[in-house]
């Protein structure tokens, strides 16, 4: 696993080729992470996969995270793995919520994009909640404004189902995904269940005696 200085080197090298792609690094609890601009996902992952000396060729997992009520709200995490050295690296694309009301309070620390702030010796734990702001793109789907992230299916075919799962649960649109449909929830489901402001429960259970009080449930 690259340590904190190693991450800074990776940050500098990627930003030399793709300016502004990597926003920050974090090394916390022996877990290395790059925090990146969501529009540069493909560039960063291609660089990490193909650059000699990096070669993170295996994508273990793709998952979403919701930092509600903090901003930027969403994150898509790519757990990369170098199988020769057994090194894991998490790439976090942080995405603001395009559907949020403009009055939302931002708690992002003003100096959090300062690269020198991450210091493994100081014992300061980089909080996942303090992430730099990015300008995310958005799209409108069925009257709802949803964040857009480029799909990495062409680069890592394993991301197919996992991106569908993130889309299903968080309402993040993966641009360029060959078959972006809901995967675990029913196709006619409304809402994004893993968002933190989505309530638990509330799904009406249909019995024969409820049929009258649940009009139109069969549609």
Partner 1 sequence: MARVEDTLHDREIRQAGAIGEAGTLRDEEITVSDFTTELAERIPGVEFELEPEQEMLTVNMGPHHPATHGVLRLVVDLEGEVVKDLKPVIGYVHTGIEKSCETMQYWKVIPFVERMDYLSYFFNMQAYVGAVEKLIGLEVPRRAQWLRVLHMELNRIHSHLVWLGTSALDLGAMGVYFYCFRDRDRVLDTFEMSTGQRMHTRYFQIGGVAEDIPAGFEQKVRKTIEQLKTGIGQYEALLDKNEIFLIRTKDVGVVSRERLVELGVTGPLLRAAGDPWDLRKEGGYLAYPELEFDVPVGTVGDGYDRYRVRLTEMRESIKIIEQILDGLPEGPWIADDRKYALPPRAELSTSMESLIHHFKLVTEGFRVEPGEVYNPIESPRGELGCFVMADGSSKPARVHFREPSFVNLQALADMTIGEYVADLIQTLAMLDPILGGIDR
| Contact call for residue 37 and partner 1 (CB under 8 A) | no
119: three-class secondary structure by DSSP? coil
79 belongs to the binding site for partner 1 (CB under 8 A): yes
With 0-12 / 13-18 / 19 or more C-beta atoms within 10 angstroms meaning exposed / middle / buried, residue 42 is: middle
Distance CA 63, CA 162 (A): 7
Choices 10-18, 37-45, 136-144, 189-197; region in contact with partner 1 by CB under 8 A: 189-197
Distance (Å, whole) CA 2 – CA 61:
18
Name which of residues 48 to 77 contact partner 1 (CB under 8 A). 57-61, 63-67, 77
Helix%, strand%, coil% for the chain, nearest 5: 20, 25, 55
Of 13 and 104, which has the nearer Cβ to partner 1?
A: 104
If one asks whether residue 207 binds partner 1 (CB under 8 A), the answer comes out as no
CB of 5 to partner 1, least distance (A): 20
- For partner 1, which is the closer residue by CB, 137 or 161? 161
**Out of 9, 107, 119, 127, which residue is the one contacting partner 1 (CB under 8 A)?**
127
Tally Cβ neighbours within 10 Å of residue 162.
22
Of 5 and 191, CB closest to partner 1 = 191
- How many chain residues touch partner 1 (CB under 8 A)? 49
Q: What is d(CA 32, CA 34) in angstroms, rounded to the nearest whole number?
A: 7
Residue 134 CB, shortest distance to partner 1, in Å, is 18
148 vs 172: CA distance, rounded Å: 6
Which of 149, 39, 15, 16 has its CA nearest to residue 24? 15
**Residue 195 CB, nearest distance to partner 1 (Å)?**
10
Q: x/- site string to partner 1, residues 131 to 170, per CB under 8 A?
A: -------------------------xxx-xxx--x---x-
- What sign does the CA torsion over 176, 36, 47, 56 have? negative
Q: Which residues bind partner 1 (CB under 8 A)?
A: 28-31, 57-61, 63-67, 77, 79, 83, 86, 88, 90, 125, 127-129, 156-158, 160-162, 165, 169, 182-189, 193-194, 196, 198, 200, 206, 217-219
């Amino acid at each position: 696993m690259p340590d904190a200085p190693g991450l800074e080197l990776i940050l500098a090298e990627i930003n030399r080729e793709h300016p502004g792609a990597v926003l920050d690094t974090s090394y916390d609890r022996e877990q290395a992470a790059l925090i990146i601009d969501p529009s540069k996902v493909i560039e960063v992952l291609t660089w990490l996969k193909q650059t000699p000396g990096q070669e993170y060729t295996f994508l273990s997992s793709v998952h979403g995270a919701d930092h509600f009520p903090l901003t930027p709200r969403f994150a898509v995490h790519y757990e990369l793995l170098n199988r020769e050295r057994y090194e894991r690296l998490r790439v976090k694309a942080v995405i603001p919520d395009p559907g949020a009301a403009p009055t939302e309070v931002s708690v992002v620390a003003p100096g959090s994009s300062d690269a020198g702030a991450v210091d493994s010796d100081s014992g300061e734990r980089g909080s996942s909640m303090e992430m730099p702001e990015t300008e995310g793109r958005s799209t409108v789907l069925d009257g709802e404004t949803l964040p857009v992230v480029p799909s990495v299916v062409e680069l890592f075919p394993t991301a197919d189902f996992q991106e569908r799962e993130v889309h299903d649960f968080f309402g993040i649109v993966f641009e360029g995904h060959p078959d972006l449909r809901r995967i675990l929830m029913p196709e006619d489901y409304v809402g994004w269940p893993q968002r933190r402001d989505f309530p638990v429960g509330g799904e009406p259970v249909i019995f024969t005696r409820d049929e009258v009080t649940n009009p139109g449930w069969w549609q």
